[in-house]
Chain A
Amino acid sequence: MGGVEGVASYLESIEEGKEVNAFLDLNPRALEEARLAEGKLAGLAIAVKSNISVKGLRAACASFTLENYVAGYDATVVERIRKEGGVVVGMTNMDEFACGSSGETSAFGPTQNPAAPGRIPGGSSSGSAAAVAASLCDAALGSDTGGSIRNPASHCGIVGIKPTYGLVPRYGLIDLAMSLDQIGPMARDVHTAALLLEVIAGPNPKECTTLKVEPPEYSRLLSRKIDGCRIGYAREFEEFTDPRITSVIKKSLDRLERMGAEVVPVTLPNLGKGLSTYYLTVFVEFFSATRKFDGRRYGRKIEEVCGREVLRRILLGRYISQKEYSGKYYKKALQFRSLIKRELLGALEGVDVIAGPTVPKLPHRLGESMDPMAMYGYDVLTVPTNLAGIPAGVIKAGEVDGIPVGLQVQGEPLGEQKILNVLYALEDGGC
């Protein structure tokens, strides 16, 4: 479909699909913008996570802190989407300030999982994943700090890409942890995800951390030919993963082998150490990032109105960044981070990509209580990617009891094309 009718029909679906609770704000000018749209994404309906600035729309980060905050400027990725004719249909629900892996920490209620009713959609890009899965848009933008694109993509059975750190501008993305955050595309098919990625990727001269690399046209270069492709698989994945998930993942690997790829064992002995490294980093950087929400400019002081998970992270960040602990925690985390990076890059040297599960457990039922450590455990397989700054993509590998399970494919820095091609091959449904 696409174009004005496409956008109009999505707007209708969004209205009808309100119970999914995927959107927090809608763009009243979407139809008008669709009429004028020209370019690679002309008329494509794009949903945007509520932590990415879209001028005139609320970037609430699903928090009472920013409940009434309307962004005054477009994030660089949004500028690029608009330039190519993409139409922002609305702002999606998420875990509050991207703190969560279930979509439940939103101040405005949890998002439903359209692919597994009654279950969490995953998070933190819960609304974006659900909107894509429920066909409320063509594609969505998520952000991924420790798995926030890949985790809900896996639970909702869609495609999600976490790009190489620095490939996509972060300008306009409200921070969780600046050294890990990346914006990325979420879509129902690999081609759309590749197309959206090539539009948003590329250096931003007004930012210090984008790479000076012009991205290729991923969508045009997509290829299902993966014979000879070496795919690494680490036994360590299985230590953390539900065996039913492992079995779905292995079937995908078998399919890839039948298509001509070679599955090669790799070792990641420090895989489990990623979590603590990750969370120490997130606490400290998130504490720093939230100092601006002091109640002077955006109405509410974050500590006074935020949910428990956000408050926990701020307080832990405040605690471990104290002068007397700085050497003990944050700097140690930075050291461990280099270790994990070395390990992953080392493992990638002998292979083209590393493939494995995305989330070690199936999504729990909405409302089921969970202690924080168990919740953090959801991220054990996705955080190393961010710590290493490398790219990864997720595609539905199969189902366990009707619940989608996503295969995660990680690659070397700027290895997005290889990852996309592996996902593309699997998408074909052959073999």
Chain B
Amino acid sequence: METIIGFEIHEQLATRTKLYCDSPTNYRDVPPNTNVCEVCTGMPGAKPHPVNQEAIDAVVEIALMLGCEIVKGPIYIQRKHYDYPDLPSGYQRTSLPIGRNGNLNGINIWEVHLEEDPGKYDPTSGKVDYNRSGVPLVEIVTAPDLRSPEEARNFLRELIKILHYTGKARAEGGTMRTDTNISLEGGARVEIKNINSVKGAYKALKFEIARQKSLRKRGAAVRRETRAFLEAQMITKTMRLKEEAEDYRYIPDPDIPPLLITPEKIAEIKAAMPETPGMKERRFVAQYGVKPEDAKVLASELELANAFEEVAKEVDPQFAATWVRDELKRVLVYNDKSFAESGIGTGQVVDLLRMIQAGEITPKTGKKILEILVAKPQPVERIVEEMGLGKIKADDIIEKACEEAVAENPQAVADYLGGKGEALNYVVGQVMRKTRGRADAKTVLEMLKKKVQG
């Protein structure tokens, strides 16, 4: 039985001011109802300011990143009427599609458009905070192309990655809100609202599939309805049946002339747009000769990809790719951090890889240092010293230098073994040269004695 899943994803845009007024958007940092004005609280007589250009550009960029074509004609802003305490004017403004017919990893994107966030209503206290009212949102609507909760989860992760790449969406947690449509082959479509995270989406879908399957098993029909996801219980619950569906009485907002996105504007945004993760992957393979599977991991996070490119300027790219992909990423995943969150500087990675390449530390030591770095970013040198890793380093290196010196000076070794005790001093000198004088001569002498005497 095939599962059919589609999404409507809302993400706040990282603009400084709201969509239709000058009120700031940092509503999380201020007391309730302080980032407000007569426009975003819908005071009688207030009119929307011209649409925030930064928000329009962000939606165009996101649509382009998702492979959408940008709508050429006039794009109307519509009023969507419904009655709820968080809506100060009794309607929400939502644009008609700005981008259409996109695709992300084989999942079709039906449309991308611009909306305003409503305020925040707390049913328990009966209070409304309008700080959020009017914050711009991008809404992304997918085709029902997803076939399993796992696929859905991967898609959402990939989508978040793209939004993050643009830098135009708000990165703070909890701001991604999705509605999802799900049906089992031949069954009615159910919409689930109130999903606030990727994990939530996955859990809601898992629950819903089980619910629908069990209904079928019992011979009952799945009703066409809208259900709410209750995050705490990880279940979904009926909100309203299809017959109760609201009529939003959409009209084009008479206060706002339609948007017009010119080809010049699209070209300008395209030129300044970051690469998509896919483009980056292909470029890494072509430009640095890294393996495709490494490139995929490297491009999974913008900061990680940027760090790799920085490091690749200083050390061998393929060596860097292997280390960043295998070791750094492993430690990051283990610690459940993104590269950006870890706070590691690219300079630290460069230092570390250089030391490994120069043989100053062993790969094993290198891995240990990475773990420390992820836990607490600091200069690599300091870790080496403080953790006594320098000792390991010294022994490793001196030993190696001794081996080399013995191999390179068979005559001196033979002379020493033949009884010329001072012949070994020449070999000590060679070791000192190799270690740039940093080794202790007495230690070297002892080591050499052991070595030649086997």
Interface residues of A (CB under 8 A from B): 51-53, 59, 61, 66, 69, 71-73, 75, 170-175, 177-179, 205-209, 284-285, 287-288, 290-292, 294, 296-298, 318, 321-323, 326, 330
Contact = CB atoms under 8 A, between A and B. Distances in A.
8 A-B pairs with the lowest CB-CB distances in the bound complex, closest first: A291-B90, A178-B254, A179-B254, A321-B249, A172-B45, A53-B45, A174-B44, A292-B89
A88 B85 CA distance: 35
Contacts of A69: 44
Nearest to A319: B249
Nearest to B82: A291
Contacts, number: 94
Candidate in B51, B83, B89 with the most chain A CB atoms within 10 angstroms: B89
Nearest to A204: B47
A322 B49 contact: no
A209 B257 contact: yes
Contact of B46 (A171, A179, A322): A171
Contacts of B85: 296
B325 interface: no
B48 A73 contact: no
28 contacts: A66-B44, A73-B43, A171-B45, A172-B45, A173-B45, A178-B253, A178-B254, A179-B254, A207-B48, A207-B50, A208-B47, A208-B50, A208-B256, A209-B47, A209-B257, A287-B249, A288-B249, A288-B251, A291-B83, A291-B90, A291-B91, A292-B42, A292-B89, A294-B90, A321-B81, A323-B248, A323-B249, A326-B251
A174 B45 contact: yes
B132 interface: no
Nearest to B44: A174
A208 B49 contact: yes
Nearest to B48: A208
Contacts of A171: 45-47
B2 interface: no
A322 B45 CA distance: 25
Interface of B: 38, 42-51, 79, 81, 83, 85, 88-91, 247-251, 253-257
B47 A207 contact: yes
Interface of B is mostly: loop
A59 B45 CA distance: 10
A324 B335 CA distance: 55
Contact of A323 (B43, B46, B247, B257): B247
A330 B44 contact: no
Contacts of A209: 47, 254-257
A173 B88 CA distance: 17
Contact of A178 (B51, B90, B249, B255): B255
Contact of A208 (B51, B79, B90, B91): B51
Contacts of B90: 288, 290-292, 294
Contacts of B91: 288, 291
A288 B140 CA distance: 26
B255 A208 contact: yes
B215 to A, nearest CB: 30
Contacts of A296: 85
Nearest to B22: A206
B43 to A, nearest CB: 7
B89 A291 contact: yes
A72 B46 CA distance: 11
Given A209-B255, A285-B251, A321-B249, A52 B89 contact: no
A328 B376 CA distance: 67
A162 to B, nearest CB: 17
A284 B255 contact: no
A173 B43 CA distance: 11
A172 B46 contact: yes
Nearest to B20: A208
A175 B46 CA distance: 9
Given A208-B255, A292-B90, A296-B85, A326 B38 contact: no
A180 to B, nearest CB: 8
Contacts of A290: 90
A287 B254 CA distance: 13
Contacts of A73: 38, 43, 46
Nearest to B50: A208
B33 to A, nearest CB: 12
B251 to A, nearest CB: 6
A413 to B, nearest CB: 15
A170 B247 contact: no
A66 B43 CA distance: 12
Contacts of B247: 322-323
A177 B253 CA distance: 11
Contacts of B38: 72-73
B47 A170 contact: yes
B43 A72 contact: yes
B52 to A, nearest CB: 12
A284 B45 contact: no
Contacts of A292: 42, 44, 88-90
Nearest to B256: A208
A290 to B, nearest CB: 8
A398 to B, nearest CB: 37
A287 B257 CA distance: 20
